[in-house]
Structure 1
Amino acid sequence: MSNTKNTSESQSSRETRNSHDSHESHSPTEHAADGDRPSPIEVLRQARDQLAELTGLAPESVSSFEQTEEGWSLEVEVLELARVPDTMSLMASYRVELDPEGQLTGYRRVRRYERGRADARGGR
């Protein structure tokens, strides 16, 4: 009888340990809480998602991306006004700033242009 009791107690303690161990495993989204910085691709995805949620505009591409002392800075191209033909659609570039964990801290439209037009300014 005591052997049965010991077996059930040890089985119970194993289940408790296994349950505790599974709670200690880290999911991929927990890395920022551990002090790790998100990867550049995670930052890029977060920036696009957060900008889309705030503006209601769907990002089409990211034209610049850099890590700064304050976090991250991106320039995101969005379709602001669809027109026919598509080359006449109005596009906009938004400067998006994020903190080191990838949370959006600010954005602003830096230019607006027709999709089919080349820049007269050379580099931008």
Structure 2
Amino acid sequence: MPRERPREERHREERPRARPREERRERREHEPERERRREPERERPRPGRPALVARDAARGAARHVRGLTGRTPEGVTSLERTEDGWTIGIEVVETHRIPDSTDILAEYRVELDDRGELVSYRRTERYYRGRAENRT
């Protein structure tokens, strides 16, 4: 009956051999540049398509508003594609009150370029949550 080898020896044999550092470096040098560096789809605009899709523009605008105001966005109130990027309306609770219907909300208008970078933002209006229908 053949002698069984210790577990450590069996484990070592099953492992694939690691390539020497020089061999790995040589292989990388011969790969085309695009193979080595994969860029996300968003950074490479396709002809005829915007670089930033609506969902990503809205999320980016909400992140910018949160970062600038320190307040958590409630939602997206408007979204419009422009020649240079996107214009997005973001609703934010500026003051929490009891009852909730007396919270003070604000709408921020955010402009992003095609890459999602902030171009401008401003607060366009403030209103009570319970009186949103009276907004102008």
TM-score in terms of structure 2 length:
0.68
Q: Which runs of 5+ in 1 are unaligned?
A: 1-7
Indicate whether 1:79 and 2:93 are aligned.
Answer: yes
Deviation at 1:66, TM superposition (A): 0.7
Counterpart position of 1:26:
39
Give me the CA root mean square deviation. 2.5
| Closer/same/farther in 2, CA of residues 23 and 96 from structure 1, 3 Å limit | same
In the aligned structure 1, how far is the partner of 2:86 from the partner of 2:104? 26
CA deviations 1:51-87 (Å, max 9, x no partner) are 1101111111001001111211011100000000111
Q: Residues 28-67 of structure 1 correspond to what in structure 2 (within 5 A)?
A: 28=41, 31-32=42-43, 34-36=44-46, 37-67=51-81
Task: Pick the structure with greater CA Rg.
Answer: 2
Name which of structure 1's ranges 17-26 and 75-84 shifts more when overlaid on structure 2: 17-26
The DSSP-based 3-state class of the residue aligned with 1:119 is: helix
In the aligned structure 2, how far is the partner of 1:110 from the partner of 1:72? 16
TM-score in terms of structure 1 length:
0.74
Counterpart position of 1:102:
116
Code of the residue aligned with 1:86 in structure 2: it is D
Counterpart position of 1:4:
none
Identity, % of aligned positions: 36
CA deviations 1:16-68 (Å, max 9, x no partner) are 5469665232235xx32x34502211111111101110111111100100111
State the number of aligned residues. 110
In the aligned structure 1, how far is the partner of 2:27 from the partner of 2:59? 40
Instruction: State the 4+ residue runs in structure 1 displaced beyond 3 angstroms.
Output: 11-22
Counterpart position of 2:129:
115
In the aligned structure 2, how far is the partner of 1:87 from the partner of 1:112? 14
The DSSP-based 3-state class of the residue aligned with 2:132 is: coil
Q: Is the 8 Å Cα contact of residues 28 and 36 (structure 2) preserved in structure 1?
A: no
Code of the residue aligned with 2:52 in structure 1: it is P
